[in-house]
Amino acid sequence: MKTICYSILKFSIFCVFLFIATQCSTNEPVIQPIVDQQKVQQSTSKNNPFLKSARTTCAIIGNRTVTPGTSGLYSYTYGNDVNTSGFPPNVTWSVIAARPAGSIVISGSGTSTTISFSSNFLMGRISVSGTGGGSSIPDCGDIANISRPPVFSCSASVVQVWCSPASSGYNAQINARVSVTNPFPNTASVLVQWNPNLLSGQLVAGGQYNVNANTTTILPTQFDINTQTSNPNGFYVPMFVRYTDLVTGATCTVDNLNPLVTGSCNGAPM
């Protein structure tokens, strides 16, 4: 009886080892295809021209906000992880849209070009494309939107004006208090003075201030002028106010201020 039980035990142990050996033998081939598939994917990544193109970068370098009536230099930059020093042999610039039509003019081609904007330019879109470099220098292009600075309307008014004796060489000294409103979303430099296109003068005091964004205030100014404009009740002083955005450089001018000045001004026509 003991002999029979011992034989059965040996047979059971043999079966267990046989089962384990069979499972290990069955799992071994499964590992190799996974490794082979990874190699295939790596090889495909290295030789796939579409993946090279996806890592190519290019851009238009130049001002996106321009002053009408000016021109500027625009450049084409290019790079990819296969060839970081070369450029596509054919670099072409184009005007996609311009408002008004014809207000953008491109001069020349290549990696750098001069672009001119007419005096009535509002906005537009340009493009550049680099082609013809083959698989080592994939094609690449870019688009840029360009516009003029925002156009702001501005206003000012003379609250008070009077005359006093002028400095040597001038016939009237003007004292004025002017209400101004900064039209810009940034702090502006505000100049308040005579209109230099219509008469000569010199600033005596005040005249230029910094005013916070969208703020209304009253600014004093004092300047000497030589005026030749007469009126039975006094004379008119052409004045102007110029706002300059200290962030963007945009300007807005009120040049139609023409207050009537009365009173004695040692020599000014009355």
Q: What are the CB-based long-range contacts (under 8 Å, 24+) for 78-85?
A: 78/111, 78/130, 78/140, 80/52, 80/53, 80/55, 80/56, 80/137, 80/138, 80/140, 81/52, 81/55, 82/52, 82/55, 82/136, 82/137, 83/136, 83/137
More confident position, 142 or 232: 142
pLDDT given for residue 10 in this prediction:
58
Write the CA distances from 63 to 67, 133, 150, integer angstroms. 10, 28, 15
Average pLDDT over residues 249-261: 90
Burial (CB count within 10 angstroms: exposed 0-12, middle 13-18, buried 19+), residue 77: middle
Output the CA torsion 190→193→196→202 (10° steps).
Answer: -120
Give the pLDDT of residue 266. 52
Under 8 Å between Cβ of 58 and 84: no
Give per-residue pLDDT as tens, 15-72. 555 555 555 444 444 433 333 333 333 333 344 433 334 578 899 999 999 989 999 9
Contacts of 18 (CB under 8 A, 6+ apart): none
pTM attached to this predicted model: 0.54
The first and second tokens of residue 244, run together, are 């300059």
* 60-116 residue pLDDT tens: 999 999 989 999 999 999 887 765 567 889 999 999 999 999 999 999 889 999 999
| pLDDT over 90 (residue 267) | no
97: its two tokens: 């849209």
pLDDT score recorded for residue 44: 36
Domains in the chain, CATH or no CATH each = 53-147 (2.60.40.1080), 156-261 (2.60.40)
CB-CB contact of 175 with 164 (8 Å): yes
**Can you give the pLDDT at residue 169?**
87
Give the residue among 131, 132, 100, 103 at the shortest CA–CA distance from 115: 103
Q: How does pLDDT run across 197-248, given as a tens digit for each residue?
A: 888 899 999 989 999 999 999 999 999 998 765 555 678 899 999 999 998 8
